[in-house]
Structure 1
Amino acid sequence: MQKKLFITGIGTGVGKTICSAVLVQYFEADYWKPVQSGDLFYTDSMAVKDLTGEGAQFYPETYRLKLAASPHQSASAEGKLIKVSDFELPQTEKNLIVEGAGGLMVPLSDDELMIDLMEKLNIPVVLVVREYLGCINHSLLSIMALKEKGLQLEYLVLNGHFPHDTERVICAYLNTETKVIRIPDMEKPTKENIENITKQLKNL
Structure 2
Amino acid sequence: MTDCSAHSRQTRIQHSFDAAEGYDAAALLQRVAARRLFDLLQARLGGRAPRRILEVGCGTGFLTQMLHDAWPEAELIATDIAPKMLERARNRVGKRVQFCEMDAARPDVAGPFDLICGNLVFQWLAEPAAVLQTLAERLTPGGVIAVSTLLDGTFAEWQNACAAEGLVAGTPEYPDARTVQGWQPRLSAGRWVAERCVQPFESGLAFVRHLKATGASVPREGIAALSPADLRRVMARFDASGALATWHLAYGCFQKPRRAGVFVTGTDTGVGKTLTSACFVQAWNALYWKPLQSGLADEEGDTATVIKLSGCLPEDCIPPAGAYQASLSPLAAAQAEGAQIDPARLALPLQNPERPMVVEGAGGLMVPATDTLMMLDLAEHWGLPVVLVARSGLGTLNHTLLSLEAMRARGLAVAGVVLSGPLNPENRKTIEEKGQVRILAELPQQEAVTPETVRTLRGLIPSWDAVCGGGESM
Q: Give the TM-score normalised by structure 1.
A: 0.91
Does residue 383 of structure 2 align to residue 125 of structure 1? no
Structure 1 200/114 Cα, relative in aligned 2: closer, same or farther at 3 Å?
A: closer
Could you say which structure has the greater relative contact order, defined with CA pairs below 8 angstroms and 6 or more residues apart? 1
Whether contact under 8 Å (1:155, 1:180) holds in the other structure is yes
Q: Which residue of 2 aligns with 1:61?
A: 320
Whether contact under 8 Å (1:22, 1:197) holds in the other structure is yes
Does residue 313 of structure 2 align to residue 52 of structure 1? no
CA offset digits 1:113-149 (Å, max 9, x no partner)? 0101111111110000113442211111100000011
CA offset digits 1:155-184 (Å, max 9, x no partner)? 2101122433222222213335x3531112
Q: Which residue of 1 aligns with 2:282?
A: 25
Does residue 301 of structure 2 align to residue 43 of structure 1? yes
Aligned counterparts of 1:148 and 1:83: Cα–Cα separation in 2: 26
Identity %: 36
Q: Which residue of 2 aligns with 1:75?
A: 334
Q: Which residue of 1 aligns with 2:6?
A: none
| Distance apart, 1:31 and its partner CA | 0.4
Which residue identity does 2:324 align to in structure 1?
Answer: L
2:435 partner SS: coil
Aligned counterparts of 2:312 and 2:267: Cα–Cα separation in 1: 29
Q: Which has the higher mean CA deviation after the structures are superposed, 191-200 or 150-159?
A: 191-200
2:458 partner SS: helix
**Which structure shows the bigger proportion of residues in helix conformation?**
2
Aligned counterparts of 2:430 and 2:454: Cα–Cα separation in 1: 28
CA offset digits 1:43-100 (Å, max 9, x no partner)? 1000000001134601100001111101111111122233544311223322100000
Aligned counterparts of 1:105 and 1:139: Cα–Cα separation in 2: 13
Which residue identity does 1:11 align to in structure 2?
Answer: D
Q: Which has the higher mean CA deviation after the structures are superposed, 22-31 or 88-97?
A: 88-97
Aligned counterparts of 1:88 and 1:144: Cα–Cα separation in 2: 25
Whether contact under 8 Å (1:159, 1:182) holds in the other structure is yes
1:12 partner SS: coil
Aligned counterparts of 1:119 and 1:81: Cα–Cα separation in 2: 21
Aligned counterparts of 1:153 and 1:173: Cα–Cα separation in 2: 14
| Distance apart, 1:25 and its partner CA | 0.6
1:193 partner SS: helix
Q: Which residue of 2 aligns with 1:10?
A: 267
Which residue identity does 2:318 align to in structure 1?
Answer: Y
Q: Which has the higher mean CA deviation after the structures are superposed, 115-124 or 165-174?
A: 165-174
Which residue identity does 1:46 align to in structure 2?
Answer: A
Q: Which residue of 2 aligns with 1:186?
A: 446
Q: Give the TM-score normalised by structure 2.
A: 0.41
Which residue identity does 1:184 align to in structure 2?
Answer: P
Structure 1 140/200 Cα, relative in aligned 2: closer, same or farther at 3 Å?
A: closer
Aligned counterparts of 1:54 and 1:72: Cα–Cα separation in 2: 29
Does residue 412 of structure 2 align to residue 154 of structure 1? no
RMSD, aligned α-carbons: 2.0
Aligned counterparts of 1:165 and 1:175: Cα–Cα separation in 2: 15
Q: Which residue of 2 aligns with 1:92?
A: 351
Does residue 371 of structure 2 align to residue 114 of structure 1? no
Whether contact under 8 Å (2:281, 2:312) holds in the other structure is no
Q: Which residue of 1 aligns with 2:151?
A: none
Work out the number of aligned pairs and report it.
Answer: 203
Unmatched 5+ stretches in structure 1: none
Larger radius of gyration between Structure 1 and Structure 2: 2
Aligned counterparts of 2:431 and 2:312: Cα–Cα separation in 1: 36
Structure 1 86/55 Cα, relative in aligned 2: closer, same or farther at 3 Å?
A: closer
Point out 4+ residue stretches in structure 1 off by more than 4 angstroms.
none
